[in-house]
Structure 1
Amino acid sequence: MGGLGVEEAYSEAVTAHRAVLDLLDGESAPGWHATVLRDLGDAQSLIAMLVVLGRACRRLGTLNGEGRADGAGR
C-alpha cells in the first residue's frame, strides 16, 4: 500500500477506531463496541492478506524470470 501513496492509511484508521472505542462504553453499547472491534480485526486481516499476496506475486515474478513482480525487470 505504501507505493499507492497511502503509507499512513492503516495507522490513521487504527487511531480513528481507538478514538471511537474511547467514546463508547462497552457495557452500555456492547453492539457498537463489538462492531468497532470487528472492523479493526477486518482491517488487520486485510493487511495480512495483502502481505501474503504481495509475497506470492514476488515469488511468481521470480519463477517466471522477471526481475520484479510487476514485470519492470524485463
Structure 2
Amino acid sequence: MGTVNTKNRILNTIDTMPLEKLDAVLAFLEDLQRSGEDETAMLMSDPSFVRDYREAKEDIRTGNTVSLKSIRRDV
C-alpha cells in the first residue's frame, strides 16, 4: 500500500470516528511519535551504531551490496 493511500485511509477513518474517541486516537499517535523519537535518539547516541550506520550508507553509495535474492532462503 502506498504512503498516500495509507494517509488517506487514516484520515478517512479518523473522519468517521465518534468525537469521544478522538482524544484516545490523538494520545496514541502522540505516544507513537514520542517513542519513535526516543528510540532514534537512543540509537544515535551509540557510537558503534553510528559507525555501523555510516559504513552501511557508504556501502550502499558505492554499490557494495548483495541482492536479497542471493541471500533469501525459503522457509
- Shorter-chain-normalised TM-score: which range? 0.3 to 0.5
TM-score (norm 1): 0.47
TM-score in terms of structure 2 length: 0.46
Return the structure number with greater helix share.
2
Between 1 and 2, higher relative CO (CA 8 Å, sep ≥ 6) is seen in 1
